[in-house]
Amino acid sequence: MLTLERQEEILEILNKNKSATVEELAHELFVSGATIRRDLRIMEKQGLIKRSHGGAMPFKSSAEESAFAIREQENIVAKKTIATLASKLIKNGDSVFIDSSSTVGTVVPLLNNFQFLSVTTTGLRNALLLSQTNNVKIYIAGGQIQNHSNSIIGTDTMDYIARIHADISLVSCSGVGLNSGFTDSSIEQSKLKQQMRKNSSVVAVLCDSTKFNKTFLCRNFNFDEVDYLITEKTPPIEFVEKIAETKCKIITPENTNY
C-alpha cells in the first residue's frame, strides 16, 4: 500500500471511529507501529489529525466541519484517476472554469502539460494551486468568502462568471441521484455551477463513486444538461442505463469515450 493510500485509510478509520490507537491502526492496516507513528506525525503537520497519547483523532474546525485539507486527502487515488481522465478534455489555448472543490483541484497540477490556458476559479485553495502552474492565465472571481470553506460566493461572483465564456467547465458535486441528477447542499454553490454551465461550450462533472445514490438539497444539473460524467469506475447499472438515454457520456478508466 502506498503512503498516501495508507494515510487515506487512516483518515477514514479516524473519521468513522472518532479516535484510534497506534496499535489498532497498525493491526487494521497490517503495518508496524513505527510506520503508523510516522504517518501520524506527517498528517498532524498537515492539519489532518490531532495526535493524542498512544493514538490520534480527526481534526475538526470549531464548526465541526472537516478541514479542506482533509477533503483533499479523501479518496485521493480515485481523485487522481479522475483528474487524469478529465485533463484529456482540455486543449492548448482553452478557457476553463473550475469550481472550488478538492476533486477538481486535483486537475490543476496537470495543467502544466498545456500552453496558453486561461482558468477562472471560485475557490481560494484552487487559485493558490493555480498560482504554482506555468503558462496559465489565472482569474479568481470576487465576492463573499464562505466561512469554514475555501469558496467564494454571492451576487458579485455570479456577475463575474456571467461575463466570461469558457470552452469547458470542470465541476464536482456532493451527490448523484438517479432521479435528482447532480446535487449539492449549498444553493449558492449550485447557482454558481449552473452559471458556469450556461457560459460554457462543454461541461464535465467530476465525482468519485462514493457520491452515487446520494441526494442533497439543491439540484445542479440533470444528466442531459452535461456533456461528460467522469468517475474512477463504472457507476451502478441503473445509472449507466439512465445516462445512456441522454447526451452525457460516462468516462472511466475502462471507457474513454471522449
Grid cell 439512465 is found at 242
Q: Could you tell me if 228 and 248 are in contact, meaning their C-beta atoms sit under 8 angstroms apart?
A: yes
Structure-block grid coordinates of residue 61: 474546525
**pLDDT tens digits, one per residue of 167-220:** 999 999 999 999 999 999 888 999 999 999 999 999 999 999 999 999 998 999
The CA–CA distances, whole Å, from 217 to 142, 165, 189 equal 25, 28, 11
Listed by start position, the domains of the chain span 3-60, 75-251
Residue 65 confidence (pLDDT): 40
- The reply to whether CATH 1.10.10.10 applies to domain 3-60 is yes
**pLDDT tens digits, one per residue of 213-246:** 999 989 999 999 999 999 999 999 999 999 999 9
**pLDDT tens digits, one per residue of 150-173:** 899 999 999 999 999 999 999 999
Prediction pTM value: 0.74
- The reply to whether CATH 3.30.565.10 applies to domain 75-251 is no
Domain pair 3-60 / 75-251, same fold: no
List the single range of 61-65, 95-99, 132-136 with lowest mean pLDDT: 61-65
Q: Could you tell me if 208 and 232 are in contact, meaning their C-beta atoms sit under 8 angstroms apart?
A: yes
**pLDDT tens digits, one per residue of 22-50:** 999 999 999 999 999 999 988 887 667 88
